């Protein structure tokens, strides 16, 4: 059976010393009422031990990230605790990270039962990109009387990715990079201003779309359909990894982030990977995940061939720094 460490609180120390004094007085005087009183005091200690054990055992916690994590921004998790059987009462949960110099994050639950509880939120500000590993979780309680604090550790290998630090780049920076953000025809039907195709009128079509010339020629209503407009996909490439990698990676991430915020499909090419253009959130996450985890030391060298179109991020970054 796993041992649960016990730590005396200040009140618990006083209480125990008081109990010992009562015991000594009982032994000295032979007063049976003092023996009864001693029994009651020790009874409280035993009940306290039993209830605190019951409160600690079997607690399960889920950690749900509240959004994505970026360097320098507050990363938050919702902590949800469950417990079957005897509820967990006055429970303190501490998260210990593998990262050095990061103090444990903590949250507190007054009542934990088998039903869904109101989550508690913990937060910290990551200082670097990459994997953030949770090493272990500590459950502690002073229930029921505050005489002792019982706790136990539970190994928990959870991992989250922290994206590089991002910031919205200014339009000047984008223009300096030669980025064209105008709309282009997408080659498919959709809302737009350019006529794309003609078809027969169906019930429900807007009368404003009637193509009168074709309708006159064919003798029945014809509707013109427009072409969808889409932004031109932006290809950015990293020709090589510069010396000051971290700030460059942060700049690259910021560039991708800014373009994505503008609704532009972004493609990224680096010596190691190629991400085709896409404007979905998943695509952004994939790129940011790559940038969070990339080790430039393993991607030495340069792009095998420079794309015909696209922005060299290294040049842009150096220009900006200058």
Residues at the site binding another protein, with contacts judged by CB under 8 A: 11, 18, 22, 25-40, 42-44, 46-47, 51, 60, 62-63, 65, 87, 89-90, 108, 110-111, 113, 118, 142-146, 157, 159-161, 285, 289, 293
Q: Which is nearer to another protein, 26 or 235 (CB)?
A: 26
Least distance to another protein from the beta carbon of 33, Å?
4
CB 241 within 8 A of CB 299: yes
Least distance to another protein from the beta carbon of 197, Å?
35
Least distance to another protein from the beta carbon of 313, Å?
23
Q: Shortest CA distance to 127 belongs to which of 101, 93, 155, 94?
A: 101
Q: How many Cα atoms within 13 Å fall on the side-chain side of residue 322?
A: 7
Least distance to another protein from the beta carbon of 262, Å?
25
Q: Which is nearer to another protein, 63 or 317 (CB)?
A: 63
Q: Which is nearer to another protein, 110 or 212 (CB)?
A: 110
Helix pair angle (313-321, 245-261), 10° resolution: 110
Spatial distance between the Cα atoms of 49 and 6, rounded to a whole number of angstroms: 9
Q: Which is nearer to another protein, 136 or 199 (CB)?
A: 136
Q: Which is nearer to another protein, 20 or 293 (CB)?
A: 293
What phi and psi, each to the nearest 5 degrees, are found at residue 2? Answer: -70, 135
Q: Please name the helix (run of DSSP H) or strand (run of DSSP E) that holds residue 57, with its range, or none.
A: none
Q: Report angle CA 69, 73, 75 to the nearest 5 degrees.
A: 45
Spatial distance between the Cα atoms of 205 and 189, rounded to a whole number of angstroms: 15
Least distance to another protein from the beta carbon of 109, Å?
8
């Amino acid at each position: 059976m796993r041992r649960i460490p016990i730590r005396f609180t200040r009140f618990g120390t006083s209480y125990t010393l008081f109990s010992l004094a009562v015991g000594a007085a009982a032994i000295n005087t032979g007063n049976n009422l003092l023996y009864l009183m001693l029994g009651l005091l020790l009874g409280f200690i035993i009940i306290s031990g039993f209830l605190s054990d019951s409160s600690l055992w079997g607690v399960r916690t889920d950690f749900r990230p509240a959004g994505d994590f970026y360097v320098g921004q507050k990363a938050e998790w919702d902590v949800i605790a469950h417990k079957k059987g005897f509820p967990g009462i006055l429970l303190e949960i501490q998260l210990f990270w593998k990262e050095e110099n990061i103090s444990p994050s903590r949250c507190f639950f007054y009542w934990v039962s088998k039903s869904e509880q109101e989550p508690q939120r913990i937060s910290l500000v990551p200082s670097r990109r990459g994997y953030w590993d949770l090493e272990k979780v500590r459950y502690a309680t002073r229930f029921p009387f505050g005489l002792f604090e019982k706790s136990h550790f539970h190994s928990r290998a959870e991992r989250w990715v922290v994206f590089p630090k991002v910031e919205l780049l200014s339009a000047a920076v984008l223009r300096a990079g030669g980025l064209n953000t105008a709309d282009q025809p997408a080659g498919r039907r959709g809302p737009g201003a350019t006529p794309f195709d003609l078809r027969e009128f169906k019930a429900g079509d807007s009368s404003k779309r009637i193509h009168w010339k074709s309708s006159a020629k064919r003798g029945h209503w014809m509707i013109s359909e427009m072409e969808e407009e889409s932004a031109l996909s932006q290809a950015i490439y990293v020709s090589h990894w510069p010396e000051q990698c971290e700030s460059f990676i942060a700049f690259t991430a910021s560039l991708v982030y800014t373009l994505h915020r503008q609704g532009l499909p972004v493609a990224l090419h680096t010596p190691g990977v190629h991400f085709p253009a896409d404007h979905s959130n998943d695509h952004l996450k994939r790129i940011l995940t790559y940038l969070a985890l990339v080790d430039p030391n393993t991607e030495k060298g340069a792009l095998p061939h420079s794309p015909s179109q696209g922005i060299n991020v290294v040049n842009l970054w150096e220009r900006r720094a200058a």
